Amino acid sequence: MTLILPSDAALSAVGADTARSGARVGEARGAVRMEVRNLCKVFADDPRPALALLRDGAGKAEVLARLNVNVGVVDASFDIRAGEIFVIMGLSGSGKSTMVRLLNRLIEPTAGSIQLDGRDLTALSKNELVEVLRRDLSMVFQSFALLPNRTALDNAAFGLEVAGVGRDARRDAAMRALDKVGLSAYAHRYPRELSGGMQQRVGLARALAKNPSILLMDEAFSALDPLIRTDMQNELLRLQREQARTIVFISHDADEAMRIADRIAVMEEGRIVQIGTPAEIITNPADEYVRAFFRGVDPSRVLRARDLARCDDRVTLVEEGEDPIAALRRLAERGVGYGYVRGRDGRFLGVLSRAEGTILNRPEPVAADAPLHSLLRRVATAPCPVPVVDGGGRFLGVLTRAALLETLDRGDDPRG
Ligand SMILES: Nc1ncnc2c1ncn2[C@@H]1O[C@H](COP(=O)(O)OP(=O)(O)OP(=O)(O)O)[C@@H](O)[C@H]1O
Ligand SMILES: [Mg+2]
């Protein structure tokens, strides 16, 4: 039997797009930067009765009805890792803005702790906090918060001015930031001369000019029209990729969240009801609220081959070096037409066809990172489940028509 291997080109094209790379020097990508534990915010002079009710399992509505106290955030615990885009989603009033304002202590927490790089933010003095905010955290607000009597340039430079940076240096940095958001031609215009979307971009430029390691963005793109919005999302992904910036991003928009998030936290009535990758959330929503939120999202644009790759006992593996006659007999005994040949190093080597009695180099393997929508035709027309390999050409499993249809159908079924 001849071993016909898929071409190297086919294998190396696979998985070219591995991790979003490039951590900051001295900072491991994925290391925990912020550690939030049991964070609560209730808006009351004396928060104790409300906290007691919440501890007993009361919801936001009940606390409001019984104590006339507004609940912002309830018992939130999560980590934010270096270099990730962490998206917070939820309906209006679910506590998203309160949450990010707690992260930089624009709002003081009622209970719980927030650590930044291992330092307890809630325990810092005002001066220490100012120092940390200057160095590490910048916020882009839901309302643009521009100063009306200053030009776009001076607005973009404002954060640096507050931080005590000299005039020329801060104007240079502000100009570069305006350029990044496509507004250098408007540097000397006043906010009233700019559209809402342009004002929002000035707000973003202000945050970028400070070059913070963590960017907090509250609905920063919501006033932008769809084309500019997509541009800005791409810009954000580029910034994150190149500079490994950590970004906490609030959004109302399920498609936006799915597009840019490494992980998503879904909030409901002040509580976080689920945290997961876009793929986890779409394949396994924690409850009906989460499912409803993402119902309109096309799963084939979110999920990748790896998310559906299966390697269970329904997949017949043939190991390199195994006697071909014995392997073919095994296929016959199991009543299957194909076996997947795996090298000693785990690399995928081809498909053993029972009918043809040989190893084929088709169907060609697909990359683990390939989005499902790009694979529909290949999976539909292949004679057998399509092999999936990682960036090193290692066999991860197969993609079956059934798994694909089931996933796509579940995403579209209005009954969930
Ligand atoms: N300063 C405040 N005083 C009293 N209640 C407040 C205050 N700020 C926020 N809240 C309440 O906290 C809850 C969460 O508000 P928040 O602004 O965080 O919601 P959100 O998820 O950002 O909503 P949106 O999508 O509309 O921006 C709401 O019930 C709101 O009324
Ligand atoms: Mg808000």
| Each residue's pLDDT expressed in tens, for the chain with a length of 416 residues | 443 333 333 333 333 333 333 333 334 567 999 999 999 999 999 999 999 999 999 999 999 999 999 999 999 999 999 999 999 999 999 999 999 999 999 999 999 999 999 899 988 888 888 888 878 888 887 676 799 999 999 999 998 888 888 999 999 999 999 998 889 999 999 999 998 888 888 988 998 898 888 999 998 888 788 888 888 888 888 878 877 789 999 998 898 999 999 999 999 999 999 999 999 999 899 999 999 999 888 888 899 999 999 998 889 999 998 888 899 999 999 999 999 999 999 999 999 999 998 888 888 999 999 999 999 999 999 999 999 999 999 999 999 999 998 888 754 455 44
Structure tokens at 357: 């009695």
Is the Cβ–Cβ distance between 93 and 70 less than 8 Å? no
Domain boundaries, the chain: 8-16+305-412, 32-297
Smallest CA-to-CA distance from 272 within 81, 42, 36 is with 36
From the CA of 47, which ligand is nearest?
Answer: 1
Confirm whether 8-16+305-412 and 32-297 share one CATH topology. Answer: no
Q: Which residues contact 146 (CB under 8 A, 6 or more apart)?
A: 155, 191, 199, 202, 203
Q: What is the CATH number of domain 32-297?
A: 3.40.50.300
CATH class, 8-16+305-412 region? alpha beta
Q: Which residues have a beta carbon within 5 Å of ligand 2, which is an ion?
A: 97
Q: Is the CB of 246 under 6 A from ligand 1?
A: no
Task: Estimate to the nearest angstrom the gap between the alpha carbon of 102 and the chain centroid.
Answer: 21
Distance 200 CA to ligand 2 centre (A): 15
Q: How many CB atoms lie within 10 A of CB 415?
A: 3
Q: Is the CB of 213 under 6 A from ligand 1?
A: no
Smallest CA-to-CA distance from 270 within 62, 84, 46, 66 is with 62
3-state secondary structure (DSSP) of residue 329: helix
DSSP of 145-168, one letter per residue?
Answer: ---TTS-HHHHHTHHHHHTT--HH
> Closest ligand 1 atom to the C-alpha of 99?
18
CA distance 110 to 74: 10
Parallel, antiparallel or unpaired: strands 366-367 and 386-389? parallel
